[in-house]
Chain A
């Protein structure tokens, strides 16, 4: 049984149908990549899975249970973490408060403290900035905070929306290193990325979205060598 099963999903805003009949599935502990141009519907797809954008048609099932139409805060509780596009950390809360909010739905205080310490050893710079306001962090630090915050709900599945966007190469490789480590923790990942090359290296399978529909779906290796993908998303001449 797949961990996440999206079936014929349709979602959008007002008259805009950003996602039109997308199906995909994620198995436990697996990383899958979703690539596509700007406006292809990648972000909307993730937001619909998380219940932020209403699903108009189709179903989303998580661990065999339907989560279609469920409010976001309950979906988080079931085990889907989401590091949204643009990071969206809380700018006027301290780094510590941002992380504590990541564990908002948990009550195991001792374990939360240990998990925060672990995040700080993963991203030492966050440990140094615990009492600083989130909004004063650099872009890379904010992305680390967003990842740490999403991890603190102890998800079984993480939705990551453009975690490398606008970051320096050295930060990008650090972030991808951490994402690669999620498999060992038993966390499955849906990775939405502009940086298709790096995403397909991490992922086992990938989907290509074009104007709200799946145009290609294959193993990551197959996708990375597909001429259409190479032309459009990998920048090979």
Chain B
């Protein structure tokens, strides 16, 4: 029981909501302490400072005025006090050099004739200017004392006493006002924090719920979050991510389905042919040979499909090998030689237009695969007596490979799909020519992997042109 409570408490304390709230509360407390402490302290110091300036000046002024008298008496001190108007609401005492009070401004309880040995008066009689101020809740109680010097000797002391309740009341009022302000501010801030945390928790909950649902495989789940803040941005990114995951998942399913279908067709042919051999007693040797040849062709097709799939999987899974400078023209010429026999069989002429070197940074196997597949398609899907033109040229910093044929062409509506896996424009002809439906997919993946771009233009019934652009490699510097 206590363990579960402790765990709940631990969860609460480690939650983001608690931490943010605690941080807010700590900041608020600190701000309130500062608001309530410093202004009051500052005011108090200012009052004390102004009292010191004012009272010390008054005491010194009176002391200076009394210095002209050879002997201090209540009369001449009274005259000086009246003349200088230094009394105001303060009490003024003047003593002789022994501390005996000879003048007191109080009308109600004067202390003339008494011995005043206050520390401040002793200090003044010792030649020092003294100021002291004490603040209580009720008043600022201050006193200032100054020596009266006559002919180089201390003749007495002047003592000012001030009891200021007005400034203290003002300070008290300020403190009360600040406390009220703080209370109001705290209320507003706490309400604000609560509202923010409520909204934050709700939105965080939405995100968390979304992550859980997607984790359970519900890729179509979308987070609906209002606003334009970071959480909304995370929500948008999350939605984009799940959309991509959903697409990939669909593509994966489609691919598995297509691959199964493609593998099933040759397997079905093999099954049919082998079954025919088995079911037909006394089959002629020539027929058996013909059937076995068919089986062999289907096996070769299966092998091609498998190799192509493996190629694609490798391209998906691994980055291409470290690129090296490759001459596109040389690769084109080699492929033309390799496809020479096949082209002759279809009655297609291959023309290569390339002069000099056209270097690009690429994986040689990838470049070969791109050139070979494009040229092989151009040959296979051509007309008898047709033509394949292969051109390599430099266009500023780009090397362009163009493979143009005079074949059957591709309908405009199908152009966007031709790089899809197992997509065939003419299914019958493709299978008849031994196509796997993966050639152009492999080309597109390699071009992407080599940092190039592939475009296609086609006119149905007239021919197709593929253009591949690579960044040209310059010696002595990086690819540009």
B is a partner of A: no
